[in-house]
Amino acid sequence: MNETSESIDYVGLLLRRRWVIAGVTLLIFLSSLALLSTQIPIYLTSALVLIERERDSAANTPSAGAIERSRDDYYLTQYKLLRSYTLLENLYKKLALASDPEFGEPNGVLKLQSAVAVRPVVGTRLVNVGISSQSPKRAMDISNALATLFVEQNLENQLYLSQEVLKALQAGTGGGGRQAYEMLPALVNNKLIQDLKSQEAELLRQIAEASQRYTDKHPAVQTLRTSYQLLKARLEVETDKAVSGLKTELSGQLRANNARVVDPARLPLGPVRPNRRLFILGGLIGGLGLGLVVAFLLDFMDQTIRQQDQVERDLKQSFLAFIPHSSTPKGISSYADLLAPTQSLSSEAFRNLRTMVDFAHVSAVSAPVLVTSTVQEEGKSHVATNLAVAYSQLHPRVLLIDGDLRRPSLHKKFNISSGRGLSNFLASSDDLRGLDGMIQDGDVPNLKILPCGPRPPNPSELLNTPKIPALLAWACERFDRVIVDCPPIFPVSDTILWGRHIRHAIFVVRYGKTRTPAIREAARRLDVSGIKNLGVVINAATAGGLSYAYYGHYQYQYYKAYKEEEAVR
């Protein structure tokens, strides 16, 4: 039950604050549209690049220069290289972007770096090299140039060691160069060259032994020396052939590359920023969210009375009735609904109020009741008038007294004369018999009205005269119901003066108008004065809150069913 009540309260809050929510939502939405119109369109296009994992060099590559290329961070390194400052600086100079209005100095390279978007294609060796720019063509040109430059630089980095070795081989002449050749793995691993070297070593040993036995001109020594020269010449030839083959292989690697452009960038079809749909949707959702926050904040700060539980919980007073808001057309009396032959929410609200007052006032049926409020413009006279008309439909003798000597209004509501009335009786020395000539009939059967009469300059002094209790005693003897329309509690004390002789009051609170602290203080003054508050009437209630909306709905359904039953009969 509590959850249902809380849900009803929340929905009622949204209904009451619907215009606030709508206004804030519209404001934020229009602001987002205005902001959208100031945004510069940004275009994004990408070139698709394939990056294969590098393979180890052939066995002929020097083992001292081998590079580990199978680590997991290889591709991450390539992605970082695509956005490296050095690469982008070369691109910046190549495309002469210093004169470009978007990427010009200062910090032109950094601007270009922030525009680069490297997006790997998950599960593949492909990567999108994108550029965002205010110009679609500029974005396409820079993206293609960056992809091409990366491929070229990747080739240079990949073959850096091979180039160094090739340079060393090309510069390797004379004895020092041949000694460097002999250290190459391609020669060390060559079986023929190693066999020739073994034969060379054997001949050198034989020459050394022969030189110990014979002179240098001995035929055996001469034969061995000749064989050595022939073997040495062949070793040089085989060495040169192996080095030439290594040079050819290294030169072939210069033409190899593990990165290439698969798809060049194309002109983008439309901007990627701002996202118009997302911007508009964000404005709507953001505006609605802010509107709800403002609505809840306003409701939290709102200390006016709108619901029955506020009367019972915050004011610690009994609740009597909701009176619906009504705007009476000119020339139509404010109590016309009660006199109409058809049922209405307004007429039933006052009949319900009449019943509730009877229940609260059961111990003193003929005792007078005053109607008051906290401040002006809460509709106390409207409530007093319609309550008196509702009583006149049950009782043959009902008296309505205009007790507001400062701002009387009952003569206007009933279209009667205000030439003579309560103020004349209180100010004169006439006895009670003069009241008969002051009480007037309106257009409501069984209802008599005692108007205020001319407004006196000293209302408080007149209300302190002993004629008030005499007037009330006289009225209670002659009428079944006596209702006094009194001034509000603030800022005058007239109601308290009336309360010295009338011990029961009906307190009118206008829906969503007067703050709770002021109402609570007014109720406290009634209580201190010894006036029993029969209950609170919430006047001019609107359908903005569910408390009254449900009440009106049930009333409507009830009378709809009643009319259907009457039609069947």
How confident is the model over 412-427, as pLDDT tens digits? Answer: 999 999 999 999 999 8
Overall pTM > 0.85: no
For 367, the 3-state DSSP assignment is coil
Angle at 363 between CA 357 and CA 365, to 5 degrees: 60
**pLDDT exceeds 90 at position 550:** no
Cα–Cα distance between 164 and 454 in angstroms, integer? 119
Q: Which residue has the higher pLDDT, 131 or 302?
A: 131
- What is the arithmetic mean of pLDDT over 96-107? 89
Cβ-contact 369, 505 below 8 angstroms: yes
The Cα–Cα gap between 221 and 210 comes to 6
Predicted pLDDT of residue 452: 95
Average pLDDT score over residue span 168-194: 65
Sign of the alpha-carbon torsion through 473, 474, 479, 485: negative
Please check whether residue 243 is in contact with residue 181, taking contact to mean a CB–CB distance below 8 angstroms: yes
Ramachandran class of 446: left when φ > 0, alpha when ψ lies in -120 to 50, beta otherwise = left
Q: What is the pLDDT of residues 112-167, one digit of tens each?
A: 999 999 999 988 899 999 999 999 999 999 999 999 999 988 877 665 555 566 56
Model pLDDT for residues 217-254, shown as the tens digit of each residue:
888 888 888 888 888 888 888 887 877 776 666 655 54
CA dihedral sign of residues 237, 242, 247, 249: positive
Cβ(523)–Cβ(533) below 8 Å: yes
pLDDT at 160: 59
Task: Name beta bridge partners: 449.
Answer: 400, 440
Q: Which tokens is 287 given? A: 């505006």
Helix (H) or strand (E) holding 370: strand 369-373
Residue 566 has a pLDDT of 45
Interval 538-543 mean pLDDT = 87
Lowest mean pLDDT among 61-65, 99-103, 188-192, 320-324: 61-65
Cis peptide before 454 (omega within 30 of 0): no
Higher-scoring residue by pLDDT: 63, 351: 351
Backbone φ and ψ for 450, nearest 5 degrees, come out as: -105, 100
Q: In what order do the strands lie in the sheet with 116-120?
A: 116-120, 126-133, 43-51, 259-263
Q: Write out pLDDT tens, residues 501-537.
A: 999 999 999 998 999 999 999 999 999 999 999 999 9
Average pLDDT over residues 284-295: 92
- Show the tokens assigned to 3: 């959850």
**Closest C-alpha among 399, 468, 396 to residue 432:** 468
pLDDT value at position 8? Answer: 67
Q: Are 380 and 483 a contacting pair, CB within 8 Å?
A: no
- Mean pLDDT of the chain, nearest integer: 84
- Rounded to an integer, what is the distance from CA 348 to the centroid of its chain? 44
Please state the separation of Cα 262 from the chain's center in Å: 43
What is the rounded distance in angstroms from the CA atom of residue 105 to the CA atom of residue 144? 22
pLDDT digits 0-9 by tens, 461-499: 999 888 999 999 999 999 999 999 999 999 888 999 999
Q: What is the distance of C-alpha 183 from the center of its chain?
A: 73
Rg (CA), the chain: 53
pLDDT of residue 303 exceeding 70, the answer is yes
CA distance 525 to 522: 5
Side-chain-side CA neighbours of 209 within 13 Å: the count stands at 7
Q: What is the 3-state secondary structure (H, E, C) of 261-304?
A: EEECCCCCCCCCECCHHHHHHHHHHHHHHHHHHHHHHHHHHCCE
**Beta-bridge partners for 130:** 46, 117
Q: What is the pLDDT of residue 246?
A: 67
The long-range contacts involving 275-284, CB below 8 angstroms and separated by at least 24 positions, are: 276/36, 279/32, 279/35, 279/36, 279/39, 280/29, 280/32, 280/33, 280/36, 282/32, 283/28, 283/29, 283/31, 283/32, 283/33, 284/25, 284/29
Task: Please compute, for residue 180, the number of CA atoms within 13 A of its CA located in the half-sphere on the CB side.
Answer: 15
Alpha helices (runs of H) in 133-272, residue ranges in sequence order: 136-158, 160-171, 174-182, 185-188, 191-213, 219-253
Cα–Cα distance list, 128 to 46, 139, 183, 455 (Å): 6, 13, 44, 90
Classified as helix, coil or strand, 282 is: helix
